Each structure stands twice: as structure tokens, then as C-alpha cells.
DNA sequence: GGAATGCTTCGGCTACGGTCAAACTATGAA
DNA sequence: TTCATAGTTTGACCGTAGCCGAAGCATTCC
């Protein structure tokens, strides 16, 4: 009974509906202000402020002050991963949130997870790169091979620049809808950004869904064929 | 705000201290009765009964009636995985539960996770088998290679028997103390059982810790060398 | 400077949910 | 049949924690 870390405190934090809404809203990796999060959570500003300080205290989210605004981010990818895992558990009991609109279908296809591509397309990209020897898995970790560096560089990404940063370049993240890994880390983020820049896809500003352009579909399928 | 599965309900279930104790107690994979779990949780029997029906309702645990007893198990390995992940989050804030005794040190070395070997030795076994080409990872999944089947059979395990069962043979589970994968699934369980049968290790009946015998240390190091 | 905006703190209200004891059901033992 | 043990249900109690509005800081804009 007295073994291992105390789960209950952190789970209770996630367990409040307002706080869960806040965390879910932050899952797309964008930084949001306290007011925006209050709106998302459906509570008053003062209430949200209390929630936010608790979440920050537990280091689930990271606050940053900027002028008279205060921005919040998820603390890191591990937190995002735990949230995805919880969604996985919740999803199997049909506990999806209320109405499933057209957006929900698109969310299965492509969505933002923290800051990288998730959903069927995220998984396809990951598996394609593994299958072609561009990425190699080692336990929980994943790394670029030599061929992978060339490929990614050709894709228009400055690998050396990523490696100079503090963030982990390659990282896996478990996709809750597909139940498979997809690519996270600074490379995952860069790949998504690059595809947006090229006009392959575009983020829905009101949700985590990603809209894929016609030309993007073809280009993506060519770049990341199923193996 | 209205996207994706509803996390808060399931997190709130885990977030109550009594229920968290119950779930933690079930992490070693043994089935426990309602009375035993009440004891573990530190609440009265009637209170525990209420908690247990809620957990069962959410399919986090699976009840089985046997005579006038009612046994409870974790629902499956995915639930165990989420709990381990939450422990990982909790652990990094030094939120380990109260006193860290000698048992806690041993827990880092070897412990039971659901029903398989976890901790440093669990991770070492997994990585050794990957490194020698006995196991191969494919995304989130992991599988035995031909050489792996031979090795495991030579270890004294009836692979065909495992495959006949309903449970997934190979499965990964993220180790909260090591932050790496270890081997779960029915093979993971069989490996641990086999090592116990051979007298390499023995479970501490009062905790999740696994005691490693002297001869077990040498035999384990020989069977699963670091690569 | 003064006004407006963004956030925090405080006080008070409320309700949800955890708790237990006691009554009740069900299974097994004598 | 009767008693004992295991678990569930009910009802009453109580505390915690979420909620809001109002007042208080802090920062920026005019």
C-alpha cells in the first residue's frame, strides 16, 4: 500500500472537469492565456486562475508571463503522452465527448498532438519512415539513421539546427485513436510546420483537427508510402 | 473544448486516494478480494465496496466471483500501463509515497508490474533481447523473431501454448522508474514465472518488490547480457 | 496622470462525494 | 436448520473543494 509514487494527487488534478478541459485545450501545443482557458473550461476567470495555479504547482503546465498576459503551455511531451493514454482508456468505453461532428472524423485522420502530427496520417508517416530505414527504434527511444538525415534534410529541415536545441529531436508518442506510435520531438514539430509551409495542410483554428489540402494528400502519400 | 474522449471521469476515479490505493495494490497482477482491498485502501468494507463497483463500472478492474468471495484484477495491461505512466509523472516531483525504506530501493531493481518483471532488471532483459535480435519492435508492438522463439523455448517456455491463449504474447510496458520499455504480455508473465520456478527470484509477499537470489543474479546476467 | 485590461486573492455559498454503521442478501460450514 | 463469513445497500453525516462576485494588484495604453 505504501509503495511507489502517489498517483492520486495528480490524477485528482486531471479529474476535475474544468481542469481536464484546460489540459485538453492545451494538447495542441499552443500557449493560451488564462482568459482563453477560462473560456475553454467554461468557468469564470477567478475559478480558472485557481485551477491554473494548481496545475502549475504540480508542473503539469508551464506558465510564462508576457506583458500583462500570462500564457500557459503543457509542461512537456510526457504530460501530453499521459493525457493521450488517458484518452485511450476513456475512448474504449464510448465515452467520447457528446456529439461526434464532422470535425471528429477529421480528427481521426489528422490532428495536432502537442505540436506534431497525430491521427492516421501521423501514424502512417511514422511507420513509413521506420519501414524505409529512415528511423530506427531502440526501446522507448527512436533515432534518425544516416539515410533518415538525408531524407529529412531533403524535406527542407535543418537537422543540425534541431540538434543544437535543448529539446529531444526524436521522440515517440502513443496515438490514442490509432493505438500506435507517431513521431514527436522537435523533429516531429518541424515536419508538421514544414508541411504547413508547403501548403499541404492547415490547422483548424477552432480545434485540434488538421485540414489536408488536395495537393497535400497526393504529396503526403508520395513522401510517406505505406511499406 | 468538446473534442476527444472525456478524460475527467476516468481521472477522477483514479484521483481518489482510496481508489488509487486499490489500483496500486492490484498492480502486481494478483487478484485480491474486496476485504483485502478495503484493508489496502484503509477504508471500511462498505466504502470499499462502493469504490470497487465504480471502478468495475468504468472497466478499470475486472471482478470475478468465486464462492462467497469476489476477486478483483486490473482489467488489462493497458490500464496497468496508464497507472505506470501516472507514477512516472508523480515521481518526478519527489512525490514518492512517504518514507523510502529498503524495499523502495529493491523496487527500483526488480518488481512485479501487473504480472511481469519490471525495474532495472526488467528493462535489462528487454533491451538485451532486442539487442540480440530475439525480439523486434514494430511501432508500439513487439514480436519474437525465429531466434527468439528458439531462445525462449530453450528457456523452458511453451511458446505455442502461449500463442494458443487469448492474451497477446508480446507487449511493451513503460517502466516508471527507468523510463524505458520492458516486456509484458503473456510471454512476460511466463518469463517471470519461469525465473521464479528456477529459484532465481522470489516475490516479496507484502509488496511488489522481487528479491533476487544470489544464484539468480549470476544466471540472469548470463542469460540477458547487456549488449 | 488616469483609464482600461488581465489576472489574483478573498469571502461566502453550495453541493458533491467520501465515510461509516447498520440492516440486508448470499454463500458456505457445522 | 442454524450460524458464520463475505459482500452490498441504505441513510445520515460531514468536509472538501469548486464556484462566483467583489475588491485588489499589476501592466499597458492613451
Cell match 510471454: residue? B187
| DSSP codes joined into one string, B54-119 | HHHHTTSEEEEEETTEEEEEES-HHHHHHHHHHHHHHHTTT-B-S---HHHHHHHH-EEETTEEES
List pLDDT tens digits, range A29-78: 778 899 999 999 999 999 999 999 999 999 999 998 876 788 898 998 88
* pLDDT surpasses 90 at A149: yes
Yes or no: say if A13 and A58 are a contact pair by the CB < 8 Å rule.
yes
Give the nucleotide at minimum CA-to-C1' distance from B47. C19
3-state SS, residue B214: helix
Q: What pLDDT is recorded for position A98?
A: 42
Q: Answer whether A92 sits within 8 Å of B2, measured CB to CB.
A: no
Which bases of chain C are contacted by protein, using any atom under 7 A from a CB? Answer: 5-10, 17-23, 26-28
Give the best-scoring range by mean pLDDT among A40-54, A77-91, A111-125: A40-54
For B106-133, the three-class secondary structure string (H helix, E strand, C coil) is HHHHCEEECCEEECHHHHHHHHHHHHCC
The contacts of residue A204 (CB under 8 Å, 6+ apart) are A103, A106, A210, A211
Helix locations, chain A, DSSP H: 7-15, 17-26, 34-41, 45-57, 77-91, 102-109, 120-131, 146-154, 159-164, 185-197, 214-223
Q: B170 and chain A: CB distance < 8 Å anywhere?
A: no
Q: How confident is the model over B151-178, as a mean pLDDT?
A: 81
Distance from A22 to chain B by nearest Cα, in Å?
A: 8
The set of cell numbers assigned to B225 is: 547480457
- DSSP letter at A5 equals B
- B227 near A CB under 8 A: no
| Residue B98 Cα, gap to closest chain A Cα (Å) | 7
Residue B67 falls in which region: left (phi positive, over 0), alpha (psi -120 to 50) or beta:
left
Q: Give ∠ CA B82-A23-A205 in degrees, rounded to 5.
A: 125
pLDDT of residue B143: 87
Nearest to A6 among B2, B8, B90 (CB): B90
**Is residue B52 within 8 Å of residue B34, measured between CB atoms?**
yes
Task: Say yes or no: B105 contacts chain A, CB-CB below 8 A.
Answer: no
- B43 interface with A at CB cutoff 8 Å: no
Nucleotides of D under 7 A from a protein CB: 5-11, 17-23, 26-29
Query: CATH fold of B7-75, please?
Result: Arc Repressor Mutant, subunit A (1.10.10)
pLDDT of residue A140: 52
Nearest CA in chain A to B93: A58
**Mean pLDDT to the nearest integer, A111-119:** 82
Cell numbers linked to B173: 510496458
**Model pLDDT, residue B178:** 65
Q: Do A7 and B83 touch (CB under 8 A)?
A: yes
CB-CB under 8 Å, A78 with B89? yes
**Contact (Cβ atoms closer than 8 angstroms) between residue B189 and residue B116:** yes
Which of the residues B6, B113, B129, B205 would you substitute to probe the A interface, choosing the one with the greatest number of A C-beta atoms within 10 Å? B6
Say if the Cβ atoms of B176 and A27 lie within 8 Å: no
pLDDT by residue (tens digit) across B60-69?
Answer: 999 988 767 8
CA–CA separation, B71 and B56 (whole Å): 11
Per-residue CA distances from B97 to A9, A10, A13, B37, B88 (Å):
11, 13, 17, 18, 13
Mutate to test the interface with A, among B21, B60, B89, B171 (most CBs of A within 10 A): B89
* C-beta separation of B162 from B169 below 8 A: yes
Rounded Cα distance between A19 and A61, Å, is: 11
Whether residue B90 and residue A5 make contact (CB cut-off 8 A), yes or no, is yes
Mean of the per-residue pLDDT values of chain B: 85
Q: Identify the band that residue A103 occupies on the pLDDT scale cut at 50, 70 and 90.
A: low
Comparing B12-21, B30-39, B100-109, B179-188, which segment has the lowest mean pLDDT? B100-109
Report the interhelical angle of A7-15 vs B77-91 (nearest 10°).
Answer: 100
Q: Are B4 and A93 a contacting pair at CB < 8 A?
A: no
CA of A68 to C1' of D26 (A): 8
Q: List chain B domain ranges.
A: 7-75, 79-223
pLDDT for A207 equals 74
Amino acid at each position: 500500500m505504501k509503495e511507489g509514487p502517489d498517483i492520486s494527487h495528480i490524477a485528482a488534478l486531471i479529474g476535475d472537469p474544468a481542469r481536464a478541459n484546460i489540459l485538453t485545450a492545451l494538447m495542441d501545443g499552443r500557449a493560451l492565456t488564462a482568459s482563453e482557458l477560462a473560456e475553454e473550461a467554461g468557468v469564470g476567470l477567478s475559478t480558472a486562475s485557481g485551477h491554473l495555479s494548481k496545475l502549475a504547482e504540480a508542473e503539469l503546465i508551464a506558465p510564462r508571463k508576457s506583458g500583462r498576459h500570462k500564457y500557459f503551455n503543457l509542461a512537456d511531451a510526457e504530460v501530453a503522452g499521459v493525457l493521450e493514454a488517458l484518452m485511450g482508456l476513456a475512448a474504449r468505453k464510448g465515452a467520447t465527448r457528446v456529439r461526434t461532428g464532422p470535425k471528429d472524423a477529421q480528427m481521426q485522420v489528422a490532428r495536432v498532438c502537442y505540436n506534431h502530427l497525430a491521427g492516421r496520417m501521423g501514424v502512417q508517416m511514422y511507420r513509413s519512415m521506420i519501414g524505409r530505414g529512415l528511423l530506427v527504434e531502440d526501446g522507448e527511444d527512436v533515432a534518425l539513421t544516416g539515410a533518415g538525415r538525408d531524407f529529412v534534410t531533403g524535406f527542407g529541415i535543418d537537422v543540425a539546427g534541431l540538434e543544437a536545441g535543448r529539446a529531444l529531436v526524436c521522440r515517440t508518442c502513443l496515438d490514442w485513436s490509432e493505438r500506435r506510435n507517431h513521431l514527436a520531438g522537435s523533429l516531429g514539430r518541424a515536419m508538421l510546420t514544414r508541411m504547413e509551409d508547403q501548403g499541404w495542410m492547415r490547422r483548424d483554428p477552432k480545434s485540434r483537427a488538421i485540414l489536408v489540402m488536395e495537393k497535400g494528400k497526393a504529396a503526403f502519400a508520395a513522401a510517406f508510402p505505406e511499406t
